[in-house]
Structure 1
Amino acid sequence: MITVARFSFPHEAYIAKASLEAAGIDSFVADEHTINMQWLYSNAMGGVRLLVREVDLDSAVELLNTDFSESVVYQESQLGIDHCPNCGSDKLVPFTQGKKPAFIVFILLGFPLFFYKHGYRCEQCGEFTEKVK
């Protein structure tokens, strides 16, 4: 087994391990328990290591260095709405209204009150629209 990548935290290594296993490359995560017990040692130990067989090294490096961001396709149909009802703009972004007041209530009272809403905010006029189901 040879180290193909190093990570600061075990969850990062497991994401990479899942990518490799999806491609049929066997891998092993090393030093995860030590880092979980004492995460301050992560840099001193070289982090959590992701190991693969030597014959799979080139394939694993190529897969881990591949940028899949172009594969993500944004579709307006996923939003449920295609334009702002206020100004007609199509520049909508996911937004959660009421997160800050909910956080302040949690800090002051010590327990959460969930009174926020998920939806979309128009980048042009700032109008909030609730999610359409």
Structure 2
Amino acid sequence: MTKAVVVAKFSFPLDAQIAKSNLESVGIPAFVADEHTINMQWLYSNAMGGVRLFVAEEDVEQAKNILQADFSDSVDTTCASNPEHCPKCGSDDIAAYTQGKKSAFLVFILAGFPLFFYQHGLKCNQCAHFWQT
């Protein structure tokens, strides 16, 4: 029988679940402890020592290396390699945009209740064309 060892501690259960998923994606079984207690009473997180992530004793070094790895460059490269193009002019100079946000805010200020008639999508910075994704 192998001994379970705490490999990391987190303040929030979501962070522990992400770390657990990272470990399980490379074949390291992991277990999250105290997540439900902290979900119910998040102020106990520091008093309890946070949400603990356990792995088998023989997987500790490999797990620590995986949890310390920074994959942000890979994500930026993957996301930037597939740009969309404007359907109207074909430009790749596009940005995320919320259409109708100003008028929805104005209605909320004047009427006192929100009207959600805005739309999320993309807007071309060259021809100002908006489309939903």
Task: Indicate the TM-score class for this superposition, using the shorter chain for normalisation.
Answer: 0.7 to 0.9
* 1:115 aligned counterpart, secondary structure: coil
Aligned residues: 125
- For residues 7-58 of structure 1, give each alpha carbon's deviation from its aligned partner in whole angstroms, at most 9, with x where no partner exists: 1111111111111111100000011121112110111211111111111111
Q: Which amino acid aligns with 2:42?
A: W
Q: What displacement does 1:101 show? A: 4.7
1:96 pairs with one of 95, 98, 104 = 98
**CA RMSD, 1 decimal:** 3.0
Given that 2:31 and 2:55 are in contact with CA atoms closer than 8 Å, whether structure 1 keeps it comes out as yes
Which TM-score applies when normalising by structure 2? 0.74
Instruction: Give the % identical residues.
Output: 52
Summarize the Cα distance change of 1:52–1:99 in structure 2 as closer, same or farther, 3 Å threshold. farther
Which TM-score applies when normalising by structure 1? 0.74
Given that 1:9 and 1:47 are in contact with CA atoms closer than 8 Å, whether structure 2 keeps it comes out as yes
Moved over 6 A (4+): none
Q: Which amino acid aligns with 2:121?
A: G
Taking the aligned partners of 1:31 and 1:96, their CA distance within structure 2 comes to: 39
Gaps of 5+ in 1: none
Name 1:57's counterpart in structure 2: 60
Given that 1:8 and 1:42 are in contact with CA atoms closer than 8 Å, whether structure 2 keeps it comes out as yes
